[in-house]
Amino acid sequence: MRIGLALPQYDYSVPRESPLRYETVVAHARSAAEAGVDSLWLSDHLFLDIAKYGGGPERHGAFEPLVTLAALARDVPGPRLGTLVLCEALRPASVLAKALASLDRVAGGRLDVGLGAGWYEPEYEAIGLPFPSPGERLARLREAVEVCRGLLGGGPLTYPGRYHRAEGALNLPPALQEPRPPVFVGGKGDRLLELVAEVADGWNTCWVWTPEAYRERLAVLERACEARDRDPATVWRSIGLYALCGEDRADLERRFERLRAGTPTGVLDGVTLDDWRVGRLVGTVDEVREQAAGWAELGVETLVLGVGALPFQVGSLDDVALLAHALRAA
């Protein structure tokens, strides 16, 4: 199993640092690489509030993922770089494919491309775009995936979509990876899993999952693949999980209390360690290794660690180091 890290990206991501500095992002990336992490990941929002996670409604600033990954490609050699996931609405698919191909070349062929249908209505309002229905968002996502897959290798591509179009389009120079970087989709609904089976290279979901709940979604994906004569094993599976590891129970409790102290008010208020560990990669070194082995048995190829209590929050770099040690030795 490969191990990834969701890097700090938002002004809430690192305790006592707002606004977040790029120097902090790259320091986390370098530390993770030194610890043996295989991939580094950024998400895609213009800004983000954390009210849905129990925090306040104020909007937090964010680093744009494509620009930041290009900088990381120069500053952090080695790990793969990925998007978890790009919001379809924010960029025309053919223009996005151009940027991604250039990014793959800048990164030396290290790019993994995740795309999503979008869910955060305030950013649609911010760019003057009506928030589409779930069905329309999935239709738009399908077209974006097909255009990106068709153009990352250079084209030419003619695609008469309703939302994304291309007419004899070329994308030169193409991405460095051959035939192109993998393009996966993030989400969990039945129709999204059908979309994965039809047009995507892989599937991701995050951040809170029990093996039982994941197994049920996996069965939906497998049925969708079988209905389309696709081998389910050809779908690259990654999962993001909030994660925390301790040398023993006492150390785990200490680290959890440190995480609570560094997390915005409201998110972990009144939450016990035993409550919080459900659906997350949490435990002693041996327990974390056992949990990771269970995910590997479910066909998960990449486990992306969210080392905090919020998306793309990192509570402490020594938490990252211990998790990497536990999982690399598993």
Q: Which long-range contacts (CB under 8 A, 24 or more apart) does 167-171 make?
A: 169/94, 171/94, 171/97, 171/98, 171/101
Helices 65-75 and 93-106 pack at an angle, to 10 degrees, of: 10
pLDDT of residue 160: 96
- The whole-model pTM stands at 0.97
* Tens of each residue's pLDDT in the chain, 330 residues: 999 999 999 999 999 999 999 999 999 999 999 999 999 999 999 999 999 999 999 999 999 999 999 999 999 999 999 999 999 999 999 999 999 999 999 999 999 999 999 999 999 999 999 999 999 999 999 999 999 999 999 999 999 999 999 999 999 999 999 999 999 999 999 999 999 999 999 999 999 999 999 999 999 999 999 999 999 999 999 999 999 999 999 999 999 999 999 999 999 999 999 999 999 999 999 999 999 999 999 999 999 999 999 999 999 999 999 999 999 866
pLDDT of residue 81: 98
DSSP 258-315: HHHHHSPTTSSTT--HHHHTTTSEEEEHHHHHHHHHHHHHTT--EEEEE-SSSTT---
pLDDT of residue 209: 98
